[in-house]
Amino acid sequence: MTVHVDIVSAEESIFSGSAEMVFAPGEMGELGIAPRHTPLLTRLRAGEVRIQPAGGGEEQFYYVSGGMLEIQPHVITVLADTALRAKDIDEAAALQAKEKAEKALQDQESDIDYAEAQAELARAVAQLQTLERLRKTRSS
Amino acid sequence: MAGAKEIRTKIKSIQNTQKITKAMEMVAASKMRKAQDRMRASRPYSEKIHNVIGHLAQSHPEYHHPYMQDREVKRVGFILISSDRGLCGGLNVNMFRAAINSMKKWSDKGVDVDVCTIGQKASVFFKRLKVNMVAQASHLGDNPAITDLIGTVKVMLDAFDEGKIDRLFIVHNEFVNTMTQKADVIQLLPLESANDDELKHHWDYIYEPDAKEVLDALMMRYVESLVYQGVVENIACEMAARMIAMKSASDNAGTLIDELQLVYNKARQAAITQEISEIVSGAAAV
């Protein structure tokens, strides 16, 4: 049994196809979604969406920096805020963003919004994790 | 030959103008192709989120979002999308006209109007009109990111949440084809809900963490995606309109040059004829 999955961001369509199982970083915790799941609507944290494609094959990772997830029994829709393919993420940029966010966190005198900086740090960490996992699966 | 020299400089200057308009035409043509691609790329998202909203309208939510409720209209908001630069024919003027017509209808009913402009041209134009401009974004470039728009959209959504405005419209140009763009006024809020009668069974989503927060986030993204779609479409319109305007400017310059060339040749021939007749009559006198 499979379920149709669409991952779209405002600027492009990222994935469309059927899957046996989907894992997504829901706001209240990681969600594992099998076909014929009951309707559910939730926000997503920054993290990775994992897809086990139909008919076996390698698990696929997509990084999302937040967004919405809609589950219908036969359709799963991920409305990603900015979902780039994990391969495309520029590791240097992610590191730089992390450094910048850390610097901003230390420098609390400045008028940079503290909450915003923390969110940026969380995003950068999630991007790096996805990249590391991707590298591990490729080397193994 | 005094007249001939003047004509020659005039031809030269028109040729220079023609070079510029031709270059602009080609730039606009290549940018238009890219803008159309972007327009197509952003479509899946708006289709999907539209589907989700459609599902939602069919369900029986425990919480009714204010964006889905009609209320008495005391004040309306407009989001106006224009281009940053001119030289694109009547594109912006048509949009302004559609916006003003629609605003006039409301103000005739005694309803006040709030305006939020995206693009330099609209902000300059509506500043002169002395309307109540609450937000403004410009210089988005050819490849706008949704992050550039979140701020301006949020101003209007907050106004709606607080009850400052009771309806929200968006005015932008619709890309029909390369030759035709149509200014369009669309109602964003409240969302027009689908009819509830044809429901098969009672069902509702599971919401995590709770209905209000999830729906808030979803509705915000829905409106943002509609505005983003409008901006991207408007850029494609701008490029198409500029290409057509510059093409006709180049053509006009061509006809002007041809006409002037004719006048120049006549003047040159007349001068030569006069010279010959002077020489001949001079020789005859000797």
pLDDT tens-place string over residues B193-249:
555 444 456 678 888 888 888 888 888 888 888 898 999 999 999 999 999 999 999
The reply to whether A74 and A102 lie within a common domain is no
Q: What's residue A87's pLDDT?
A: 44
| Chain A residues touching chain B at CB-CB below 8 Å | 6, 8-13, 16, 26-28, 38-43, 67-68, 70, 72, 77, 79, 81
The reply to whether A72 and A119 lie within a common domain is no
Of B52, B59, B209, the CB nearest to A27: B209
Residue that is written with structure tokens 């393919």 in the block: A85
The reply to whether A24 and A68 lie within a common domain is yes
ipTM attached to this prediction: 0.71
The reply to whether A17 and A46 lie within a common domain is yes
Q: How many domains, in total, are found in chain A?
A: 2
Domain termination site, one of A44, A62, A85: A85
The reply to whether A63 and A109 lie within a common domain is no
Q: Residue B157 corresponds to which tokens in the numbers above?
A: 């959504």
A12: chain B residues, CB-CB within 8 Å = 41-42, 44
Query: For B44, which residue in chain A has the nearest alpha carbon?
Result: A13
The reply to whether A103 and A135 lie within a common domain is yes
- C-alpha torsion A78→A83→A85→A90, nearest 10: -160
Phi and psi at residue B122, to the nearest 5° = -65, -40
Round the average pLDDT of chain B to a whole number and report it. Answer: 87
The reply to whether A118 and A64 lie within a common domain is no
8 Å CB contact of A39 and B204: yes
Residues 6+ apart with CB under 8 A from A137: A58, A59
Q: Is residue B262 pLDDT above 70, yes or no?
A: yes
Query: For A41, which residue in chain B has the nearest alpha carbon?
Result: B207
How would you classify the pairing of strands A60-71 and A75-80?
A: antiparallel
8 Å CB contact of A42 and B221: no
What is the CATH classification number for the domain harbouring A9?
A: 2.60.15.10
CA atoms within 13 A on the CB side of A121: 14
8 Å CB contact of A10 and B214: no
Q: Is the dihedral of CA A20, A1, A18, B225 positive or negative?
A: negative
Q: What's residue A92's pLDDT?
A: 55
- State the CB neighbour count (10 A cutoff) for residue B60: 11
The reply to whether A67 and A100 lie within a common domain is no
- For every residue of B176-192, DSSP letters joined together read -SSS-EEEEEEEEESPP
B79 pLDDT band, cuts 50/70/90, is: very high
Residues 6+ apart with CB under 8 A from B154: B220
Q: Is A44 helix (H, G, I), strand (E, B) or coil?
A: strand
**Mean pLDDT to the nearest integer, B173-191:** 90
8 Å CB contact of B38 and A11: yes
The reply to whether A60 and A102 lie within a common domain is no
The reply to whether A76 and A94 lie within a common domain is no
Q: Residue A96 corresponds to which tokens in the numbers above?
A: 């730089």
B231: chain A residues, CB-CB within 8 Å = none
Radius of gyration of chain A (CA): 16
A-B C-beta contacts closer than 8 Å: 78
Helix%, strand%, coil% for chain B, nearest 5: 60, 15, 25
d(CA A139, nearest CA chain B) in Å: 33
CA atoms within 13 A on the CB side of B98: 24
The reply to whether A14 and A67 lie within a common domain is yes
Domain termination site, one of A65, A85, A105: A85
- State the CB neighbour count (10 A cutoff) for residue B58: 15
What percent of chain B shows pLDDT beyond 70?
A: 95
Of A11, A16, A79, the CB nearest to B221: A79
Q: What's residue A3's pLDDT?
A: 92
pLDDT in tens, chain A (140 residues): 889 999 998 778 888 999 999 999 998 889 999 999 998 999 888 888 999 998 888 888 888 888 889 998 889 999 987 644 444 444 555 555 556 556 655 655 545 556 667 777 778 888 878 888 877 777 76
Of A6, A11, A39, the CB nearest to B48: A6
B139 pLDDT band, cuts 50/70/90, is: confident
Dist CA A87 CA B237 (whole Å): 34
The reply to whether A57 and A118 lie within a common domain is no
Classify residue B77 as exposed, middle or buried by CB count within 10 Å of its CB (0-12, 13-18, 19+). Answer: buried
Dist CA B181 CA B245 (whole Å): 13
8 Å CB contact of A41 and B48: no
**Mean pLDDT to the nearest integer, B80-102:** 92
d(CA A30, nearest CA chain B) in Å: 12
Full domain range(s) for residue A63? 3-85
Q: What's residue A97's pLDDT?
A: 56
8 Å CB contact of A79 and B208: no
Q: Residue B199 corresponds to which tokens in the numbers above?
A: 């429901």
A76: chain B residues, CB-CB within 8 Å = none
What is the CATH classification number for the domain harbouring A97?
A: 1.20.5.440
d(CA B46, nearest CA chain A) in Å: 7
